[in-house]
Structure 1
Amino acid sequence: MNNCPRAVIADDEAHLRDYLEQQLAGAWPELRVAGRAANGIEALRLIDEEAPDVVFLDIRMPGMTGLDVAARLVEAGRPPHMVFVTAYDQYAVQAFEHSALDYLLKPASLERLAKTVAKLKAALAAPSAAAAPPVDALRALLAQMGTVVVPAPAAAPAPLQWIRASQGEQTRLIAVDEVVYFQSNDKYTSVVLAEGECLIRTPISKLREQLDAQQFWQIHRSVIVAARHVAGTRHDFRGRLMVQLKDRAEQLVVSRAYADLFRQM
């Protein structure tokens, strides 16, 4: 059972969540539905907690749309495979732009769902290909459709070396080598140093793009830690994986989506 693929279903209409789960039980019996969400915010929380392999997202949900959820997942990195399920086909192009693996119109027939399941199984069976989001494949598909032109990504800039941060009434210029970890807090991101703490306005998603991924590891949607400050890991009484830091008492929670970083530790 531990090797069974896991999914989260997000739809604001309970009977449609039930219908899709029933259809999936027939089309993909080994799939386990790990959670069901009634809105986008609940979907993000479930995805963070459960780290599913697949997410079925309704596009029109209250508070945060399925497209908003997809954008947040892509920004955070390591998104699950996403399938949009909606009654409105005008969202198809936006779905592809947000790295959707497929797009289903409600109510999805068993025959159409079977094709989606086949795509998902193929993607899950190819972890090396799945390690990168399917943006390039979607860009090619959109170009063939003649629907929209999505520019190729620009060359990655050099990793961030310096940070301008606020500490009390002062503004400091901090070398990234001094940072122990970053943690998002409401409108700000805390920059935790060996001695003291500063604040910046740059969100975690933007920092992740600018930092050297070999030196800084994202371990949670809201935390990036400097690898050289990681002493080890342990599980707490709730079964959560925790990062222990060198020369610091606090421990940092690792979400399930990033737990594989520490499988060899």
Structure 2
Amino acid sequence: MPTALIADDERLMRDQIRLALAEAWPELQIVGEAKNGDEAVEMAETLKPDIAFLDIRMPGRTGLEAAREVCQHAHVVFVTAYDQYAVEAFERGAVDYLMKPVEQDRLARTVERLKARLVEPPPDLNQMLVKLAASMNGGTQKSYLKWIQASVGNAIRMIATREILFFTSDEKYTRVQTEEFEALIRKPIRELVAELDPDEFWQIHRATLVKVDAISAVTRDERGHLMVSVRGNPEKLEVSRSFGHLFKQM
């Protein structure tokens, strides 16, 4: 039976990929699950899977960095929430990709490609990976998150950033608020600031990010502090002095 490794820093995402693969390719045996790029490399060296499903953004080695070593043993499929990373190189090259959330139709096409490729040794991807990493890290157009992977109860939910009103953090979790529901992630605000388009989301407090076009009003409370109101939610978000300049022309 063909074997595979799944690497993603979110357990619920690993679960989703495993369940989707069980439906699309029942014969495929999942021999390992890694929660970061370093574990993925170690598991690939030990378990020698035929295929590795690698999240592009992981702690330690990124998926691209891990792929340079993993491709010595396995055919690589990248899994990503960054739609601009699903570039032409994936389509025409010897590596495939899946967008989060993983759709069964797209996965079925990937499975068919993998079945055809398994009759040959994994290709050398190093040159392509170097070019791809360079375009991601130093390209003229930076890619930003289009989906947030969040926990709603015991389930995983992929939330499009266009649907998010704001993020607020405490010491442990970050709340993701939409007009219809709220969800939790462990990613801190300081990381989200670097991964979200600054033209779409403004940081207004060390613990708060707000979607610009969701702002319905900016007022002052009895203390003289700026407070932001957003459409579809009664909560008011405080603006700290450090970010008050954002609203001087509003």
- Report the TM-score when normalising by structure 1: 0.44
- Report the TM-score when normalising by structure 2: 0.47
